[in-house]
Amino acid sequence: MPTTWSTTILYLAARAVVRPRLAVDLLRTAWAFRRRGWYRRPPFLPLPDPTYLRWRMYTAYADEHAVPPAEDVARFARWRRETMGL
């Protein structure tokens, strides 16, 4: 089933409401992926660099336009916490 970033984010937000630990993991992961100097350029939001995000999707899914399944994002956030001791 094709998905979009919006549906993935909404699904993760719904899961995070039920699981506060997941919410913390997702927020920390999102913060780690933010573009450097995000506060100096519009839209002044801590969003990831689109070039970096395309590269990450290409290395993970062999398609730079891929949208990861929500379960993969949640699993990565949990792995990041456990591995980095956050």
pLDDT digits (tens, 9 = 90+) for 8-40: 999 999 999 999 999 999 999 999 999 999 999
| Whole-number average pLDDT of the chain | 93
Q: What is the pTM assigned to this prediction?
A: 0.87
Instruction: Match 């949640």 to its residue by tokens.
Output: 74
* C-beta separation of 47 from 34 below 8 A: yes
* Residue range(s) defining the domain that contains residue 27: 5-84
Q: Which two tokens stand for residue 31?
A: 């913060």
Are residues 57 and 51 in contact, defined by beta-carbon separation less than 8 angstroms?
no
Q: How many domains does the chain have?
A: 1
Query: What percent of the chain has a predicted confidence (pLDDT) above 70?
Result: 97
What six digits make up the tokens of 34? Answer: 């933010």
Percent of the chain predicted with pLDDT > 90? 92
